[in-house]
Chain A
Amino acid sequence: MDNSSTLLGLLSVEPSYGYDLKHRYDRFFGERKPLAFGQVYATLARMIRDGLINAVGEEAGGGPDRKRYEITPAGTQRVLAWMFTPDVPSETLQSNLFARTVVALLVDDDAERLLDLQRAEHMSRMRELTRAKQGADLLRVLMFDHALFHIEADLRWMDLTAARLTQLKKELTAP
Chain B
Amino acid sequence: MSQNTLSQHSLSPGTLSTPLIQARDLHKAFGRTEALRGIDLDIHAGEVVAIMGPSGSGKSTLLHALAGVIVPDRGTVTVGDALVSSLNETERSDLRLTEFGFVFQFGQLLPDLSARDNVTIPLLLAGHGRRVALRAADTQLDQLDLGGMADKLPSELSGGQAQRVAIARALVGNPRVLFADEPTGSLDSLAAENVLTTMLELVRHSGTTVVLITHDPRTAAHADREVVVRDGRISGARTLVG
Contacts and interface: CB of A to CB of B under 8 A. Distances in A.
A127 B236 contact: no
B236 A151 contact: no
B162 to A, nearest CB: 24
A130 B236 contact: no
A123 interface: yes
B219 to A, nearest CB: 10
B54 A129 contact: no
B interface majority secondary structure: mixed
A163 B230 CA distance: 10
A152 B238 contact: no
A155 interface: yes
B218 A123 contact: no
B54 A148 contact: no
A116 interface: yes
Given A130-B222, A163-B54, A123 B235 contact: no
A120 interface: yes
A110 to B, nearest CB: 11
Interface string B31-73: 0000000000000000000000010000000000000000000
Interface size class of B (residues with CB under 8 A): 10 to 19
Contacts of A26: none
Interface string B215-240: 00110111100101010000110101
A109 to B, nearest CB: 16
A116 B217 contact: no
A interface majority secondary structure: helix
Given A116-B228, A123-B226, A163-B54, A130 B221 contact: yes
Given A119-B228, A127-B240, A152 B218 contact: yes
A126 B218 contact: yes
Among B217, B228, B236, find the residue whose CB has the most chain A CB atoms closer than 10 A. Answer: B217
A20 interface: no
Nearest to A127: B221
Given A116-B228, A123-B226, A130-B222, A152 B235 contact: no
Interface string A96-140: 000000000000000010001101101110110110000000000
A65 interface: no
A152 B236 CA distance: 17
A50 interface: no
B198 to A, nearest CB: 12
26 contacts: A116-B228, A116-B235, A116-B236, A117-B236, A119-B228, A120-B226, A120-B236, A120-B238, A123-B220, A123-B226, A123-B238, A126-B218, A126-B220, A126-B221, A127-B221, A127-B222, A129-B221, A130-B218, A130-B221, A130-B222, A148-B221, A149-B218, A152-B218, A155-B217, A159-B54, A163-B54
Which A-B residue pairs are the 10 nearest by beta carbons?
A: A126-B221, A116-B236, A120-B238, A130-B221, A155-B217, A152-B217, A127-B221, A123-B226, A148-B218, A130-B222
